[in-house]
């Protein structure tokens, strides 16, 4: 059966969060996209995929955040290549995929809303003009209209009784400042070390050309992460946040290749653990 993509208009009720304010007082207008996009939402699978930084959309009222179009194509605004890779992966696994369509510079949906970089005033040294000196109402609008509907959808996805595994797909840059990042794939975790360790063993055994890092290039903590500590761990799901170096997934061929590699690794885990 072909996969079904669901997108919602920003002026409608978004995954349980009712629209009550007049459009003139809202952040999102009817012509803006919804923060939530599903692929095969009803797929009956033990696996769920998430892509928090899939998009670089900006509400029209924020006027590109004061940034150029080219700046919104950079890693500071979007995980380059993550969204099409996640789509390929969901297709190969036959599982649901939840994507968040707004730029992380509008609000980062993999951060607690009280985190300093939830709505960053500066990102990697680049000031974000529309994020300067926001008042409480402006911050609340981004939380209520983007973060909350997405978070509600994520909770719905992972609470399904058949769900046992959850994987979040991200990408990272080959360098950060003056430092090279040698890992091709990073697997991030905290308490569930076994899932990432199994993925790493499979990847290094079957693809010895790949360098796999455990808790690289980032580490998970309560202060700066959301999916792992607030959703995957409390539900005791087998999980990993998968980081792919973005030079591998900047082309359709690279995206499909990485998805195929990861699909085989995930399928091995689900078959061993029991799907």
Q: What is the pLDDT of residues 154-165, one digit of tens each?
A: 999 999 999 999
Residue written as tokens 């409608």? 12
- Residue 38: the pLDDT is 97
Q: Tell me how long the chain is.
A: 275
What fold is seen in the domain 5-273? Answer: Aminopeptidase (3.40.630)
DSSP code of residue 248: G
Element (H, E) at 50: strand 47-51
What's the CA gap between 243 and 236, in Å, rounded?
A: 21
- Residue 4: the pLDDT is 53
- Residue 74: the pLDDT is 96
Give me the tens of pLDDT residue by residue for the chain, a chain 275 residues long. Answer: 445 555 444 433 333 333 333 445 789 999 999 999 999 999 999 999 999 999 999 999 999 999 999 999 999 999 999 999 999 999 999 999 999 999 999 999 999 999 999 999 999 889 999 999 999 999 999 999 999 999 999 999 999 999 999 999 999 999 998 899 999 999 999 999 999 999 999 999 999 999 999 999 999 999 999 999 999 999 999 999 999 999 999 999 999 999 999 999 999 999 876 54
- Residue 160: the pLDDT is 97
What's the CA gap between 83 and 237, in Å, rounded?
A: 22
CA distances from 99 to 7, 69, 249, 269 (A): 10, 21, 17, 23
- Can you state the angle between helices 252-273 and 193-206, rounded to 10 degrees? 120
Within the chain, residue ranges assigned H as helices are 82-93, 136-142, 148-159, 193-206, 252-273
206 phi-psi bin (left φ>0, alpha ψ -120 to 50, beta other): alpha
The backbone torsions φ and ψ at residue 84, rounded to the nearest 5 degrees and listed phi first, read -65, -30
The backbone torsions φ and ψ at residue 79, rounded to the nearest 5 degrees and listed phi first, read -80, 100
**Global pTM exceeds 0.95:** no
- Residue 25: the pLDDT is 74
CB 185 within 8 A of CB 243: yes
Q: Which two tokens stand for residue 102?
A: 């707004």
Residue written as tokens 């194509």? 73
């Amino acid at each position: 059966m072909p996969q079904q993509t669901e997108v919602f208009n920003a002026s409608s009720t978004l995954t349980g969060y009712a629209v009550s304010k007049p459009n003139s007082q809202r952040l999102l207008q009817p012509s803006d996209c919804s923060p939530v996009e599903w692929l095969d939402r009803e797929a009956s699978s033990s696996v769920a995929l998430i892509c928090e930084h899939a998009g670089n959309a900006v509400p029209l009222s924020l006027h590109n955040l004061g940034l150029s179009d080219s700046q919104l194509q950079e890693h500071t605004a979007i995980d380059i290549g993550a969204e099409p890779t996640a789509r390929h992966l969901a297709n190969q696994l036959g599982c649901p995929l939840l994507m968040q369509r707004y730029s992380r510079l509008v609000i980062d949906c993999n951060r607690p809303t009280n985190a300093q970089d939830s709505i960053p005033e500066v990102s990697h040294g680049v000031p974000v003009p529309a994020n300067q000196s926001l008042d409480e109402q402006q911050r609340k609008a981004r939380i209520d209209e983007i973060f909350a509907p997405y978070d509600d959808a994520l909770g719905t996805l992972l609470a399904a009784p058949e769900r046992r595994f959850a994987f979040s797909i991200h990408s990272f840059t080959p360098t950060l400042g003056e430092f090279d990042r040698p890992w091709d794939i990073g697997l991030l975790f905290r308490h569930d070390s076994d899932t990432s360790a199994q993925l790493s063993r499979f990847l290094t055994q079957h693809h010895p050309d790949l360098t796999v890092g455990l808790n690289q290039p980032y580490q998970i903590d309560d202060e700066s992460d959301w999916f792992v500590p607030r959703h995957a761990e409390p539900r005791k799901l087998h999980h990993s946040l998968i980081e792919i170096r973005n030079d591998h997934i900047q082309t359709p061929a690279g995206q499909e290749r990485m998805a195929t590699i990861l699909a085989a690794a995930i399928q091995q885990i689900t078959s061993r653990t029991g799907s």
